[in-house]
Amino acid sequence: MEATKTLPERKTVYFDGDEVEVWENPDAHFGATPADLKAYFNEGSWIALFNAMALASRPDPGA
């Protein structure tokens, strides 16, 4: 019997005015709050830190 896998969640973000589709692993925590940024820095998780900073600094499309 094969274990059930959780499907990644699809999200759309805008990068330089272009719509970009991204996928999030539902089994791994990822956030872009100030606490998340600090944790990635303290852990030396540089890729996660960069990605979180990029998402945290994006303009609000509803503004």
Q: pLDDT of the chain along its 63 residues, tens only?
A: 555 666 667 778 787 888 888 777 777 788 889 999 999 999 999 999 998 998 888 776 555
CA angle 50, 54, 58 (to 5 degrees): 170
Question: Comparing C-alpha atoms, which of 55, 62, 53 is closest to residue 15?
Answer: 55
The answer, as to whether pTM is greater than 0.85, is no
End-to-end C-alpha distance for the chain, whole angstroms: 49
Q: Which residue has the tokens 């820095």?
A: 41
Phi, psi of 2 (to 5 degrees): -90, 135
Average pLDDT value for the chain: 81
DSSP state of 27: T
